[in-house]
Structure 1
Amino acid sequence: MSHRLTVQYFEPTDGPAFEAAYRERHVPLVRAVPGLRSFTLTRPRGGEGTPYLVAELWFDDAAAFEAAMTSTEIAATGADAETYDVARKVMFSGDVDDVTS
């Protein structure tokens, strides 16, 4: 069963500057995380309360996720994430149950 880490960023002080820094600095750091199977970014559309940017990091399973969470690469990624001027950041993870089959 796949495992996913989701990070939602809300209300950056300067949206274009946040997105540029995120893509230039953060994306390469995330791509270096061991065991990462897929990494997607979404700019959701919606009303008030909708995140500005959603990042999803996919791993083959919970064991791969747990191993990644102890890596120096994820530590660097987390340190970089703390530098962004956003109103708030929400992170959560869990097993993904694909119910399309």
Structure 2
Amino acid sequence: MAKLLVLYKKPKDINVFDAYYFATHVPLAKKLPGLKKYDVSTGGVVSPAGASGIHLVATLYFDSLDAIKAALGSAEGQATARDLGNFADGGVDLYFFDTKEV
């Protein structure tokens, strides 16, 4: 299993971000080829030191790193990436990696 971890930093307007993210961006991302599962954080994203600069964490699950790369390179992946500029005004970081159960 491989994961694409998306960290959305605090936006200028949380209500505008949330409305757009769930109504528009999530449906786009759910069309990514090879996507197996998609979940998001709920409530505040905190660190051991307290509040963080992260508003929302999205985790997208795929079979492999190659599947993530193929999804991001697809027409759906390019449309999803372009859409980030429409709402993620606080910034966004993407990380992808393989996982193993321990």
Q: Which residue of 2 aligns with 1:14?
A: 13
Q: Which residue of 2 aligns with 1:48?
A: 51
Structure 2 contact 5–57 (Cα < 8 Å) conserved: yes
TM-score, length of structure 1 as denominator length: 0.87
The CA deviation string for residues 19-67 of structure 1, in whole angstroms up to 9 with x for no partner, is 0100000010011110000111113432232410011111011222222
Rounded to whole Å, the distance in 1 between the matches of 2:38 and 2:60 is: 5
Rounded to whole Å, the distance in 2 between the matches of 1:75 and 1:3 is: 19
Task: Report the Cα offset of residue 96 of structure 1.
Answer: 1.1
Q: Percent identity?
A: 33
Alignment-mate amino acid for residue 69 of structure 1: L
Structure 1 contact 9–86 (Cα < 8 Å) conserved: no
Q: Which runs of 5+ in 2 are unaligned?
A: none
Q: Which runs of 5+ in 1 are unaligned?
A: none
Q: How does 1:32-71 map to 2 (within 5 A)?
A: 32-43=31-42, 44-46=44-46, 47-71=50-74
Work out whether 1:92 is the aligned partner of 2:91. Answer: no
Rounded to whole Å, the distance in 2 between the matches of 1:58 and 1:87 is: 24
Structure 2 contact 65–96 (Cα < 8 Å) conserved: no
Count how many residue pairs are aligned between Structure 1 and Structure 2. Answer: 98
Rounded to whole Å, the distance in 2 between the matches of 1:87 and 1:18 is: 10
